[in-house]
């Protein structure tokens, strides 16, 4: 039986204006904020019970009905999503935590969580007729775009800071993308993408600047619920650059409640950033609704080196509504955490991912997390692209 | 309900001698050939219908009953196995093939198929009380051992050729392994492991030198059957170094037939090697039962640089019984194949994996594969550890 998407329309996350979901959009034309996909949840509540998932493929496409791609021919797959939820007993015991888990996103195609968002954005862009794609990246998003664009047969243009680790450039080129290195940060790379958009050269799939990357990312929330037997964990610890994952999971929880899959209990959402670039942490502490850009951003965790996020208000909203918090950790803590996760649990993680374990240590020390709470670390990517950080280990 | 292993005993693949499966063994004490795990297939046929798989976890542990670990506490997992089977429509069309598929083993923990074998070997070694593990490796097996040994809390010693790409060393060390670099090839590294065994320093988990790596690898065969709806493909194209995967899949097919899961139709098994190290191809062409060691082995595909395989006779037997063949491809063909798989299908693969696509081109040109046959390429590992091969791409 063919599975049908219940996508109904797009809605601006800031001003609430609505738009036709079957046309191409970037930011809200009215207020330049992110558009979010909305579904006919009434109809889906009847037609898509959670029992329907049993026996489906172990990828994010098992949630087809709540994803935006209408035609099965455009549902591109490289095996993304449904990543393992691993008990971290040894590290948990160190802090007296009895229920510490990690979601290993490094097992996605191109070895990071970015595959989820770009899988969805490229699939939907292809369905809506886009013939050329571009993205600014710290590395992993560019690799993921390259992979799915190749799968779709659409040319991809990637703009990355010149100090991006060479492994990313090799990977993106091996996947057929055209790669341009740019002096500066990801925000500088973004300028090149914008200029190309203005010139009509390509469609921009930057974080939250089109509506569908967040739809791919939200599947992390669906998976958590399913893997925990429809009882969400108490705390989710998430490294935050652009923040799509956190925003996406928060959206997923609301959708699942509307579908009747879960109750109204929510995890406390913890945003982790590097002390060298912590705009969300600062804004959270100041009680602000949006985040001021961070000056002189510097950290070994390239994916956290995002001085300004277009979805800042959505991230802050999710943290606050959940009773969560935001934590900054140092690069030294990140390095130590990376070694501990590797040697104690057997997962070689990227520095962004390692930051979550560093943050949990703060939160347990501050008694913000209780010993018997179920805590999930999001290990957003593999360490294989960051071996330069451990060469002398 | 607890799932019980139907493991019954061990049997030598060469002389047929049998051994107690609940003691530790390396090679057959009688003839120094590989021991294979045997199961009570009569009992399993009743107790383990294939319908039992529905809804189980998407890892190789879904086949628990036909795996050797008895105590669930020792079933280590990092999310290994149940890798995606991807249609390769664009590459298939180039050769007029209508049913070309690829099994992407690069999505395993530590980014290669080696995770399957080492997951099983380390789990079972831990269950049988081993306190220290060692392995010779071209890279990926060492990484996989490091990961599962860390997960088990058992120290791991890895011996690799000095020219192993540095990314492997960084990965293995990040996973807590002790790494020793050795002048020469993997066969020279193996000497160090043997010396340590003789001195009682560790247990040797070399390819086919203990009975359980092949049990992990055989799950590739179970998955293929399940993913194809219990109708095996016509041709399996497999890169062959130590050959455990090919031997394991062949064993899986026999077990599944005994379980009543599949009929007696078998795929033709194709062993792919590099022209710079092709002992199995040479032995196959000469009609020999075993393979002479290859002199001056040299290829960019490190995993195929295996001059002598202890399971040579098992590999040759599987190829012949299946009506298969063995093909050698050049390093230039491997490089070209790697670029094509990346740019056309969106998977960045290791050179060993790329060799399969090079081989298929020969086999279609020679009309050994017909246009409508279902053909599966085994993409045994990710290209992320071999970016030095594409830096100038």
Q: Is residue B365 within 8 Å of B329, Cβ to Cβ? A: no
Q: What percentage of chain A has pLDDT greater than the value 70? A: 99
Taking the CA of residue B5 and the nearest CA in chain A, the distance in Å comes to 23
Give the per-residue pLDDT at A390. Answer: 84
Q: Is A381 on the interface with B (CB under 8 A)?
A: no
Domain limits, chain A: 85-112+213-389
Distance of residue A3 Cα from the nearest chain B Cα, in angstroms? 19
Is there a contact between B261 and B230 (Cβ–Cβ < 8 Å)?
A: yes
Q: How far is CA A16 from the centre of its chain?
A: 23
A-chain CB neighbours of B108 within 8 Å are 107
Q: Of B84, B110, B346, which is closest to A147 when you measure between CB atoms?
A: B346
| Chain-chain contact of B348 with A391 (C-beta, under 8 angstroms) | no
B279 CB within 8 Å of a chain A CB: no
- Residue among B175, B344, B384 whose CB faces A167 most closely: B384
- For B7, left (φ over 0), alpha (ψ -120 to 50), or beta? beta
Name residues 82-121 of chain A within 8 A of B (Cβ).
Answer: 82-84, 86, 90, 104, 107-111
pLDDT of residue A92: 98
Non-local CB neighbours of A206 within 8 Å, separated by 6+ positions: A135, A136, A190, A193, A310
Residue recorded with tokens 């738009």: A19
Strand pairing category for A35-39 and A85-87: unpaired
Q: What is the pLDDT of residue B197?
A: 95
A175 CB near a chain B CB, below 8 Å?
A: yes
Decide: A158 and A137 in contact? Cβ < 8 Å. Answer: yes
Distance CA A297, CA A277 (A): 5
Q: Which of B75, B91, B146, B174 to mutate to test the interface with A (most CBs of A within 10 A)?
A: B174
Tens-digit pLDDT profile for residues A341-356: 999 999 999 999 999 9
Mean pLDDT of B311-337: 97
The 8-class DSSP code of residue B349 comes to B
Q: Is the pLDDT of residue B392 over 70?
A: no
Alpha-carbon separation of residue B256 from A97, A386, B42, B83, B101 (angstroms): 42, 41, 12, 19, 22
Strands of A18-19's sheet in order across: A18-19, A7-12, A35-39
- Choose from A93, A145, A387, A391 for mutation: most chain B CBs within 10 A: A387
pLDDT in tens, B3-59: 999 999 999 999 999 999 999 999 999 999 999 999 999 999 999 999 999 999 999
Mean pLDDT, chain A, integer: 96
- Contact of B79 with chain A, judged by CB distance below 8 Å, is answered with yes
Q: Which positions in chain A touch B173 (Cβ < 8 Å)?
A: 390, 393
Under the banding of pLDDT at 50, 70 and 90, the label for residue B227 is: very high
Q: Is B147 exposed, middle or buried (0-12, 13-18, 19+ CB in 10 A)?
A: buried
**pLDDT tens, residue by residue, B157-180:** 999 999 999 999 999 999 999 999
Domain spanning B85-112+213-389: CATH 3.40.50.1100: yes
Any chain B CB within 8 A of the CB of A164?
no
Chain A hits for B82, CB-CB cut-off 8 Å, are 58
Residue A392 has pLDDT above 60, yes or no: no
Nearest Cα of chain A lies from the Cα of B57 at a distance, in angstroms, of 9
Nearest CB to B174 within list A107, A150, A342: A342
Q: B78 and A149 in contact by Cβ < 8 A?
A: no
A306: contact with B, CB 8 A cutoff: no
* Sheet-wide strand order for B133-136: B178-182, B156-161, B133-136, B203-204
């Amino acid at each position: 039986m063919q599975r049908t998407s219940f996508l109904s329309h797009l809605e601006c996350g800031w001003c609430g204006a609505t738009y036709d979901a079957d046309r191409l959009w970037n930011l809200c034309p009215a207020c330049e904020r992110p558009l979010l996909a909305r579904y006919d949840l009434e109809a889906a509540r009847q037609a898509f019970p959670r029992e329907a998932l049993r026996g489906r493929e172990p990828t994010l496409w098992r949630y087809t009905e709540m994803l935006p791609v209408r035609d099965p021919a455009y549902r591109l797959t490289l095996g993304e999503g449904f990543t393992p939820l691993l008990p971290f007993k040894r590290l948990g015991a160190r802090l007296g935590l009895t229920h510490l888990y990690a979601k290993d996103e490094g097992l996605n195609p191109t070895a990071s969580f970015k595959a989820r968002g770009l899988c969805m954005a490229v699939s939907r862009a292809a369905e809506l007729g886009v013939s050329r794609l571009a993205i600014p990246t710290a590395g992993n998003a560019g690799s993921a775009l390259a992979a799915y664009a190749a799968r779709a047969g659409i040319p991809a243009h990637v703009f990355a800071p010149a100090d991006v680790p060479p492994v990313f450039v090799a990977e993106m080129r091996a996947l057929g993308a055209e790669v341009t290195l740019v002096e500066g940060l990801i925000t500088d790379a973004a300028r090149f993408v914008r200029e190309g958009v203005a010139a009509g050269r390509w469609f921009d799939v930057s974080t939250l600047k089109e509506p569908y990357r967040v739809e791919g990312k939200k599947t992390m929330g669906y998976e958590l619920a399913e893997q925990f037997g429809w009882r969400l964990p108490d705390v989710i610890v998430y490294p935050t650059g652009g923040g799509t994952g956190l925003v996406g999971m928060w959206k997923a929880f609301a959708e699942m409640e509307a579908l009747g899959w879960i109750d109204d209990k929510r995890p406390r959402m913890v945003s982790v950033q590097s002390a060298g670039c912590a705009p969300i942490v600062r804004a959270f502490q100041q009680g602000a609704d949006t985040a001021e850009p961070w000056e002189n951003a510097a950290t070994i965790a390239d994916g956290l080196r995002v001085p300004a996020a277009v979805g800042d208000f959505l991230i802050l909203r999710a943290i606050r509504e959940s009773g969560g918090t935001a934590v900054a950790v140092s690069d030294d803590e990140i390095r130590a955490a990376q070694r501990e996760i590797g040697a104690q649990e057997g997962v070689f993680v990227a520095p962004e991912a390692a930051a979550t374990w560093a943050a949990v240590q703060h939160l347990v020390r501050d008694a913000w997390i209780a010993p018997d709470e179920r805590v999930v670390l999001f290990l957003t990517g593999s360490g294989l692209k960051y071996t330069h950080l451990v060469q002398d280990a």
